Amino acid sequence: MKMYNPPHPGEVLRALCLKPLGLTVTQAARALGVSRKTLSGILNGRAGISPEMAVRLSLAFGTTAESWLNQQVQHDLWHVERRRKKLRVAKLSAA
């Protein structure tokens, strides 16, 4: 069963990783080896978790890259499924 409106992984990152460690966006970005702008985009839900960022997060926080990517996929899929009826797709079948 799909989760109802899964949170953006940036929300999870902020709540479960940055806040408990008392890290600022600047400190976390520096530790991850990315720009503050890049991390801010993720934390504010304007950007998604890429495979590379998933690996960076797994190394920094002792998690798995798969867990970060799975969160992103679940979030993205839920939002697209909400627009399913608006997608103009022709059904294809074997002749």
93 part of a folded domain: no
pLDDT tens for each residue of 21-58: 999 999 999 999 999 999 999 999 999 999 999 999 99
Would you state the pLDDT for residue 32? 98
Would you state the pLDDT for residue 83? 93
61 part of a folded domain: yes
Would you state the pLDDT for residue 4? 86
Q: Are 16 and 8 in contact (CB under 8 A)?
A: no
- Please give the helix or strand (H or E) that residue 79 lies within, else none: helix 65-82
Average pLDDT over residues 51-77: 98
Q: Which CATH number do you get for residue 60?
A: 1.10.260.40
Calculate the alpha carbon distances from 34 to 20, 39, 60, 83 in Å: 20, 7, 12, 33
37 part of a folded domain: yes
Range of the domain at 64: 9-86
- Statement: residue 2 has pLDDT above 80: no
| Domains contained in the chain, number | 1
